[in-house]
Structure 1
Amino acid sequence: MHNPQMPTDGSQQQCASTFQPETGLLDATTPLQGNERIRHLLKCFGLRTSLVRLKVIDALLTAAGNDRRLGVRGMHSHLLALDIPLSFLSVREVLKRLCSEGVVVLNSDKSYSLHPQAEAVLIEA
């Protein structure tokens, strides 16, 4: 039987694996960074990861870190300023879906923020 990975000149090639994983990479206690935290959050709430969801949640985290609140228009403007070409409707629909799933809450001033349970998941991650 022909194996395309084996040399065809009849010689036997020995492959030695030099990859040694670092224990820290596989350690469950290693904190998640960047988008991995958001991916973990979405997974905990039973949601699939999408670029729009990643960007919207990242923008909410950035705004919260700067003591700001964003509504749909503010979120859309913020994303456009970062050269993230998402339509206003996409942003609005993602925020509505994240609200319905309990990841995000709509505040009385029509701004959005992460639900306290979602914040807890991010802190644990």
Structure 2
Amino acid sequence: MHNSQLPTDGHQQRKSAFQPDNGLLEAQVQLHGNERIRHLLKFFGLRTSLVRLKVIDALLTAAGNDRRLGVRGMHSHLQALDIPLSFLSVREVLKRLCSEGVVVLNSDKSYSLHPQAEAVLTGQIEA
């Protein structure tokens, strides 16, 4: 009978095929995304906060899907992601980001990133 815990003659075969950790990979991509947003906030002279990170990330996601979000849409999107932010918090963050020039309020009452903010995120403008 073979016991894998007993010593062998030194010719033990190991199955060491590399198995990437998808969770780790996704975390690194998310970290990179958050670092871009932190850089953006710093460029505009704003402090980093969880609410700002999530709101800007939601705007980026919406833009990537050719959608626009208003305050209610943003709040619903964040609630669907289990991010417990109040409607008022989301509204105030969007208003502040607008006043600082990071976000633009469109004529249809939706929000999008200001072209200068997009340029910072894509590396076209350096801080």
TM-score normalised by length of structure 1: 0.74
Unaligned runs of 5+ in 2: 1-30
Give distance in 2, aligned partners of 1:33 and 1:108: 32
Give distance in 2, aligned partners of 1:83 and 1:75: 13
Q: Map 1:44-123; keep pairs closer than 5 Å.
A: 44-123=43-122
Identity among equivalent positions (%) equals 94
SS at match of 2:112: strand
SS at match of 2:47: coil
SS at match of 1:76: helix
* Equivalent residue letter for 1:81: A
Query: How far 1:70 moved relative to its partner?
Result: 0.1
Query: How far 1:33 moved relative to its partner?
Result: 1.8
Give distance in 1, aligned partners of 2:90 and 2:75: 6
* Equivalent residue letter for 2:94: L
SS at match of 1:113: strand
Give distance in 1, aligned partners of 2:91 and 2:82: 18
Query: How far 1:34 moved relative to its partner?
Result: 1.1
Q: Map 1:2-17; keep pairs closer than 5 Å.
A: none
* Equivalent residue letter for 1:85: P
Query: How far 1:112 moved relative to its partner?
Result: 0.0
Query: How far 1:62 moved relative to its partner?
Result: 0.1
Matched, 1:33 2:24: no
* Equivalent residue letter for 1:57: I
SS at match of 1:105: strand
TM-score normalised by length of structure 2: 0.73
* CA RMSD in angstroms, aligned pairs only: 1.2
Give 4+ residue runs of structure 1 displaced > 3 Å after superposition.
Answer: none
- Structure 1 residues 52-106: Cα deviation after superposition (integer angstroms, max 9, x where no partner): 0000000000000000000000000000000000000000000000000000000
Equivalent pairs, count: 94
